[in-house]
Amino acid sequence: MDDLPESLLTEVLLRLPLVALYRFKVVCTKWLSLISTPYFLSEYASRGSISPRWAFVSSEDYVFSERYPAQVHELLIDLHCGDLKCPIPYPSDEDLRRSSYRILGVSNGLVLYEYWWTDYRGDDEHDPNWCVCDPVTKRCVVLPPGISKHFWLDGCGFLTQMKDGVVASYTVVKYAMIPRRFEVLLSGTEEWKAYTPLNEYIGEVSLFPAPTDLDGILHWIDSFQGIFAYDPLRTPGAIRNIALPADGDGRIYRECRIGMCGTHDGHLRYLESYLGSRSRLSVWVLNDYGCGDSWLLLHSASYTDILKDVYPETLRKQIKLRPVSFHPLDPDIVYLGCKCVFVSYNIRDGKCQFLKTFRAIGNRNRDYKWDRAFCLVIPPIPPSLPTASPLRASWE
């Protein structure tokens, strides 16, 4: 292969499947440099046969021990991800047997997660390790400890910065409950920086659902305070509150309401699910970001109408769906879950499609908590994984 002209080698590599291309990056320095050039990446993405793949991964607390079999290492739902089966790597088999993990966020093919040492559920647990990994190459970077002591209701945000179609850097944000402040870590540094919010009060922000990234700004949902936007790179000490949309008669219902944010074409979207007597689903888009809170209602339908294609009338009122994720490519499709049920719903034509029924692994009587599921999208071109620091531990 050393005698092969670079132009011919490029043509060979451009025809490889994505997973093979990831593996060939570690063959030698020459191949790594060739595959990592902006020209190669843009040419690879323009071939037309490549499209993003995605799956849903769960952030449930999975314990790897004799009590829980290895099947818990599978993806929650594999819709379009091909041969991607294991999103979370560990340094060794011993770590896998003695650890629990929880996914905190996903961004441009990278996964932020935490893991901690324990042999069985209920044992004493210690402050977890935070890691960023590439689930395709299994390469992982361990992050330095945070400033404040870990608390299970801390909020967490994860976003990546792109350059020439690949991940150039990432930012991890922790919203600490005690004391109430933001802690920010940039890739390439060993240091967390703390910022106390300057201008607005933030309510109780739970770990799930994870905040939505729009142009580098994280958006958390607080059922009582609305949506608050936080920009960790440009204005790390300030937040902006965005009022939640009201229904048709101008009222805002807070009881039994579950919200979810998403983005499409540079616009913030908001889906709200009412689980009480007004059981219905509504989708809005924020018209002019930064110039007021003008929400446009895109769709609204009762759950009895949504489920008419997949459930008989006698069962529709018993199904309480909650939002899981927007479709990563199609703005008209949303994914919804209820206990062991998983469906997709098209807001354009009002069609609901049944996708899967299953129970949580390790307990046949336990259902999934759908607010702890993430849509993991694998980019069509290989991302890089910036290290937190050359001194931090990493593995493949």
Q: In the prediction, which pLDDT does 69 show?
A: 39
Amino acid at 205: V
Distance, in Å, from the CA atom of 19 to the CA atom of 78, rounded to the nearest integer, reads 16
Please check whether residue 138 is in contact with residue 396, taking contact to mean a CB–CB distance below 8 angstroms.
yes
Distance, in Å, from the CA atom of 7 to the CA atom of 11, rounded to the nearest integer, reads 6
Residue 33 phi, psi dihedral angles, 5° rounding? -65, -40
Q: In the prediction, which pLDDT does 199 show?
A: 61
Q: In the prediction, which pLDDT does 106 show?
A: 92
- Domain ranges, ordered by start, for the chain: 1-49, 51-218+369-396, 243-368
pLDDT 10s digits, 354-363: 887 765 545 5
Chunked into runs of 10 residues, the chain (396 residues) has average pLDDT values of 79 79 78 80 68 74 44 59 62 56 87 71 59 82 85 85 80 87 88 82 66 93 80 89 72 67 92 79 89 86 86 71 88 87 91 76 58 81 59 42
Q: In the prediction, which pLDDT does 49 show?
A: 52
Q: In the prediction, which pLDDT does 224 show?
A: 66
Q: In the prediction, which pLDDT does 395 show?
A: 41
Of the chain, the end-to-end C-alpha distance in Å amounts to: 25
Q: In the prediction, which pLDDT does 256 show?
A: 65
- For residue 379, give both structure tokens: 């980019």
Q: In the prediction, which pLDDT does 359 show?
A: 55
Q: In the prediction, which pLDDT does 122 show?
A: 43
